[in-house]
Amino acid sequence: MLFIVVMMITAACSEDQIKIFSGKPAIFMGVVMDRPNRPVESDIDTLRSISFGFTDLAEVTINFIARLQGNPVSHDRIVQVEPGGDAVIGTDYQLDNNVVLKAGEHYVLIPCRILRNPSMEDNRKEITLRIIGDEVFDAGDITTAYITVEDGIPGDWVNGWGAEYCFGPCTKDKYTFFYDFLGFYDLADTPQGDYASIANYLNSKIADYNMNPEKYNNKYGAPPLGFRFEYVYEP
List residues bridging with 28 in a β-sheet.
67
pLDDT averaged over every residue in the chain: 85
Q: Of the candidates 184, 162, 155, 183, which has an alpha carbon nearest to the alpha carbon of residue 229?
A: 162
Model confidence, pTM: 0.66
pLDDT of the residue at 186: 66
Between CA 118 and CA 60 the distance in angstroms is 15
Supply the DSSP string of 132-150, one letter for each residue.
---SS-EE-S--EEEEEEE
DSSP 75-123: S-EEE-EEEESSSPBTTTEEE---EEE-TT-SEEEEEEEEE--GGGBT-
The H or E element containing residue 88 is none
Better-scored residue on pLDDT, 78 or 16 = 78
**pLDDT at residue 173, as a whole number:** 85
Give the pLDDT band (50/70/90) at residue 72. Answer: very high
26-150: CATH topology is Immunoglobulin-like (2.60.40)
pLDDT band at 8 (very low <50, low <70, confident <90, very high): low
34-38, 60-64, 100-104: range with lowest mean pLDDT: 34-38
Give the pLDDT band of residue 93 (cuts 50, 70, 90).
very high
Asked whether residue 169 carries a pLDDT value surpassing 70, the answer given is yes
81 contacts 139 by C-beta, under 8 angstroms: no
Choose the weakest-confidence range: 37-41, 110-114, 171-175: 37-41
Q: What is the mean pLDDT of residues 146-150?
A: 91
pLDDT given at position 18: 46
Is residue 13 over pLDDT 70?
Answer: no
Whether the upstream peptide bond of residue 36 has omega within 30° of 0, thus cis, is no
- For position 157, what pLDDT does the model report? 77
- Low-confidence winner among 14-28, 86-100, 166-180 (lowest mean pLDDT): 14-28
- Assess contact for 145 and 128: CB atoms under 8 A: yes
Contact between 26 and 79 (Cβ < 8 Å): no
Q: What residues contact 182, with CB distance under 8 A and at least 6 apart? A: 35, 36, 198, 202
Average pLDDT over residues 68-80: 96
Domain coordinates in residue numbering, the chain: 26-150, 155-216
Pinpoint the alpha helices (H) of 44-167: 155-159, 161-167
